[in-house]
Structure 1
Amino acid sequence: MASFVDRFDVWTAEQAAAADEVIRRIDADGLELVRFAFPDQHGVLRGKTLVAAEAKSALRSGVNMTTTLLAKDTSHKTVFPVFATGGGFDFEGMQGGADFTMVADPATFKVLPWANRTGWLLCDMFMSDGRPSPLSTRNILRRAVQRLDAHGLEFVAGLEVEFHVFRLDDKRMNLADSGQPGTPPAVSLLSHGHQYLTEQRYDDVDAVMELLRTNLQGLGLPLRSLEIEFGPSQFELTFGPTVGLAPADAMVLLRSAVKQVCRRHGYHATFMCRPKIPNVMSSGWHLHQSLRHKSSGANAFIPEAAGQDLSDAGRHYLGGLLKHACASAALASPTINGYRRYRPFSLAPDRAVWGRDNRGAMLRVLGGVGDAGTRIENRIGEPTANPYLYLASQLFSGLDGLERRLDPGPSADAPYETPAEQLPRTLGDALDCLRADAYLCEQLGQRFVDYLCHIKHAEIARFNLEVSEWEHREYFEMF
């Protein structure tokens, strides 16, 4: 019988050729295992590990996974009635914990530097009848990239990612710590912080930096710099620009790689925005983005005349980002914790404004006439964001600006004082803004927006049932 790939014609000719090369690499490198992984609704990698002989055939046959994986919130609890009629979804194929099929994208093949004789493949999600899963976030970004392609343009993005690495003191693997979610590990600092970009602090943590550098470069990720951030045990990595799906693919692999490598060596890495650590500083994910002409490769944001910050196309794209800023917040910052970073003058933007090389603005414009690096930096993201949704929100918003020739208005040189629409201050408010944006709901798919909001409201409901330390401290003795 024909394979899943052949029956439903899910590969391009380039992918088919790449699959042949993957099989050659498995044999030539003596690989014994291959991990097949897909990015779930949270941008977390899930999948199965196959022995090499099975992996070669699974390239075309696909690997079956249970649909309940798509029904889980961040505690890994299933928040849809999967055994009820329809399984809680408005399309077929999800009821009863049925299977979907993940099919490898052979162009994403890597050999994992830290794992013994192990390859890795990023996969796309398909329903059993060959339809792309409507819940696939990678496919949502693919649609945005294809829509941009009709304009003769390509999406270019560079990553600037902050995170924390701690020494792992206690993994908390006792029976009493096995909840859902489990008890967080006990950790201690690698650096006390508040010595931003000092060489001495970098040298103090050189062993960790070297561990990350060798493994990330071993994966072929376009690493540019490793930096000491402001907070205790806080770090930053920056990556060179890549095109289309590649920046999002790099981000999911980066997060997974950093956590795995650190854990193997007695460290705990977290991309949580604001851990509950004394004197902590919030971590952000600043997304640098531009467009380039497919015909020439030239940056489409470079202005032609002195005194201009961006080309007309760049200004319209910027206008689209501002128009949909509040709605896209839920995709750029999708956790309750992410909104803890909004503090006065904290370098976390609080309103939808842009500024010329101003780190207090949500959208920071860099470059100018003759500068091939002209771009827009969005500073609203947190490093937990599903990269496919974050990037798709930017592309769809920017496309609306291009197509309707939206004007972003003047630069906000005092971004915390300029009158402008306030960004959402809670995840609930951000979800309300997303639901209210008819354009983004249409582009992302109303079905998908409803699905994502259902999961996120389940997380909010669990949070609201907990009695916080603040409440206990505030009221227990007083009343």
Structure 2
Amino acid sequence: MSFVERHGIRTDEQADAAERIAARVRELDLRQVRISWGDQHGILRGKTVEVGHFLSTLREGKDFQTATLIFDTTNNPAVPPFAADGFGDPRMTGLPDGVLVPDPTTFTVLPWVERTGWVLADLYYRNGDRVPFDTRGVLQRQLEALESEGFGYVAGVELEFYVMRLTDPRHGFADSGWPPAAPEVTALSHGYQYLTENRGDEADAILSVLRDNLVALGLPLATVEDEWGPGQIEFTFDPLPGLRSADNVLLARSAIKQICRRHGYHATFMARPALPHIVSSGWHLHQSLSTPDVGNVFPGEGDALLSTTAMHYLGGLLEHAPVSSLLSTPTVNGYKRYIAQSFAPDRIAWAEENRGAMVRVSGARGDATTHLENRVGEPAANPYLYLASQLICGRDGLARKLDPGPSADEAYDADRPLLPASLETALHHFEQSALMRRELGDPFVDYLSAIKRNEVNRFNAAVTDWEQREYFEVY
């Protein structure tokens, strides 16, 4: 009996998909398959295996190092590797090997790599238990909880990012620090001609390549848009059930970076790169709840813009915005995006069709597609944790019938609480949150807090260009 069968890991849908994949791999004469796993930062890690080995991996899984779980964004161990005490989970002590189990429903073929398949995997311990720090599992558990309460979750994605011409990748040994030197780049276009066809056409050489490859992957790409900054792009994706949307973000971001690099460009999902004339990039998350008999349950009736369900869900998003910030905005850099009058939110407020508010109600009275757009996230966020944060907060709003208060029609002038101004502040809110500890468990909260605290401490210890200019000459 295989590992998958022994531990009852697969659903019937996954088992059927596994049989189809085995036949497809042979039919397409693939030579290798990338088995990928989304780590705590939403970055793909994994192993590339030969086709014959992949077919056995579908049944037995693939050994994988849990040591990757203790890395911060640049692979600095957040705790001494062999002093890891499991973060409250004794199964993690000593960083044993885990098992990557491919999810056959995610299989696709990479169009930019010769005869190469790709599949997303989940991380298990050798005893068949799901590793609790696997963030895809975190979202799956929240979706299961929401389903038990009678709802499905639908998410649509708008991702902003920059594409730049790569002039020097800085691959010399002298540049290979920890982290390495940033690549040298030049602008793709001048920018500041929002949504103009001419600016978009200047970037078409790479945008068409990206478009064709994402469509070939089967991703639900809806639009390719020229944004404000020089070389700033927005891709939007059609709404799908929550887990599929999160999986798609993981694959899309990695695909965009790989394809750009192969063509002499550099793509970054960093919210505010340190380059002249830059406008911050965001991740706008469109969302609604559904039921089998009604579909979208967020539209109101009569003169009401939103249903009671939507208002309570919205109340949860607002009340818990400080404690969920670590999940929607997980980097030091992301908090530098919260600037008034910038199309990014700076305070905890909602409004109807207002892009300055944290949560924008998109739609109109009587519109069956009316939903919520949370504009708080940064494009580097782990998609599983970002979506899970919405469900944690929204479900609590439903359970407690929270009131979001009145709409903030002047979003940047409203008397509403400000969003956390730094990762350090967000980390404090997250660690102290009874809601997050109840929904995620103490081990996960303590684990993620340790990872992010290491990042904050390294940032606080670094001497910045600002400090050098401010103090070096005058004192």
Quote the offset at 1:467 in angstroms.
0.9
- Cα distance in 2 between the residues matched to 1:279 and 1:394: 32
Q: Corresponding residue for 2:390?
A: 394
The within-5 A match list for 1:190-201 is 190-201=188-199
**Further displaced range: 73-82 or 137-146:** 73-82
Task: Tell me which of 128, 131, 134 is aligned to 1:130.
Answer: 128
1:309-344 deviation line (CA, Å, top 9, x unaligned): 111111111111111111111110000000111223
Q: Corresponding residue for 1:372?
A: 368
- Find out whether 1:253 has 2:251 as its counterpart: yes
Q: Residue type of the partner of 1:466?
A: A
1:239-267 deviation line (CA, Å, top 9, x unaligned): 00000301110100010000001111110
Q: Corresponding residue for 1:77?
A: 76
- Find out whether 1:428 has 2:424 as its counterpart: yes
- Cα distance in 2 between the residues matched to 1:205 and 1:89: 46
Q: Corresponding residue for 1:300?
A: 297
1:1-30 deviation line (CA, Å, top 9, x unaligned): x21101111111111111001101101111
Quote the offset at 1:118 in angstroms.
0.5
Q: Which runs of 4+ in 1 moved over 2 A?
A: 86-90, 92-97
- Cα distance in 1 between the residues matched to 2:177 and 2:472: 26
What runs of 5+ residues in structure 2 fail to find an aligned partner?
none
- Cα distance in 1 between the residues matched to 2:282 and 2:246: 16
Task: Tell me which of 437, 443, 447 is aligned to 1:441.
Answer: 437
- Cα distance in 2 between the residues matched to 1:326 and 1:90: 25
1:220-278 deviation line (CA, Å, top 9, x unaligned): 11111001110111100000000030111010001000000111111000000011110
- Cα distance in 2 between the residues matched to 1:270 and 1:223: 19
What runs of 5+ residues in structure 1 fail to find an aligned partner?
none
Q: Corresponding residue for 1:12?
A: 11
Query: 2:36 is paired with a residue of what secondary structure?
Result: strand
Q: Residue type of the partner of 2:221?
A: L
- Cα distance in 2 between the residues matched to 1:347 and 1:390: 20
The within-5 A match list for 1:223-234 is 223-234=221-232
- For the 8 Å contact 1:93–1:128, the answer to whether it is kept is no
Q: Residue type of the partner of 2:458?
A: R
Q: Residue type of the partner of 1:299?
A: N
Task: Tell me which of 144, 147, 153 is aligned to 1:146.
Answer: 144
- For the 8 Å contact 1:161–1:383, the answer to whether it is kept is yes
- For the 8 Å contact 2:32–2:115, the answer to whether it is kept is yes
Task: Tell me which of 449, 468, 471 is aligned to 2:467.
Answer: 471
Task: Tell me which of 91, 94, 97 is aligned to 1:93.
Answer: 91
- Cα distance in 2 between the residues matched to 1:325 and 1:309: 22
The within-5 A match list for 1:176-325 is 176-296=174-294, 298-306=295-303, 308-325=304-321
1:128-182 deviation line (CA, Å, top 9, x unaligned): 1111101011011001111111122110010000000000111111110111111
- Cα distance in 2 between the residues matched to 1:368 and 1:102: 45
- Cα distance in 1 between the residues matched to 2:315 and 2:167: 48
1:330-369 deviation line (CA, Å, top 9, x unaligned): 1100000001112231122111110000111000001134
Q: Residue type of the partner of 2:155?
A: A
- For the 8 Å contact 1:290–1:300, the answer to whether it is kept is yes
Query: 2:413 is paired with a residue of what secondary structure?
Result: coil
- Cα distance in 2 between the residues matched to 1:236 and 1:74: 24
Query: 1:434 is paired with a residue of what secondary structure?
Result: helix
- Cα distance in 1 between the residues matched to 2:88 and 2:143: 26
1:16-74 deviation line (CA, Å, top 9, x unaligned): 11100110110111111001011100011100000000001101100111111001001
Quote the offset at 1:97 in angstroms.
3.4
**Further displaced range: 144-153 or 17-26:** 144-153
1:172-227 deviation line (CA, Å, top 9, x unaligned): 11110111111011111111111111111011111111011000000111111001
- For the 8 Å contact 1:81–1:88, the answer to whether it is kept is no
Query: 1:119 is paired with a residue of what secondary structure?
Result: strand
Q: Corresponding residue for 2:56?
A: 57
- For the 8 Å contact 1:324–1:437, the answer to whether it is kept is no
Task: Tell me which of 429, 435, 455 is aligned to 1:459.
Answer: 455
Q: Corresponding residue for 2:412?
A: 416
Q: Corresponding residue for 1:40?
A: 39
- For the 8 Å contact 1:152–1:295, the answer to whether it is kept is no
Quote the offset at 1:88 in angstroms.
5.0
- Cα distance in 2 between the residues matched to 1:183 and 1:138: 31
Q: Residue type of the partner of 1:313?
A: T
- Cα distance in 2 between the residues matched to 1:436 and 1:358: 31
- For the 8 Å contact 2:345–2:358, the answer to whether it is kept is yes
Q: Residue type of the partner of 1:301?
A: F
- For the 8 Å contact 1:193–1:231, the answer to whether it is kept is yes
- For the 8 Å contact 2:436–2:445, the answer to whether it is kept is no
> CA separation of 1:438/1:89 partners in 2, compared to 1, >3 Å: closer, same or farther?
closer
What is the TM-score of this pair, normalised by structure 2? Answer: 0.98
What is the TM-score of this pair, normalised by structure 1? Answer: 0.97
Q: Residue type of the partner of 2:70?
A: A
- For the 8 Å contact 1:287–1:381, the answer to whether it is kept is yes
Superposition CA RMSD, Å: 1.1
Query: 2:330 is paired with a residue of what secondary structure?
Result: coil
Query: 2:296 is paired with a residue of what secondary structure?
Result: coil
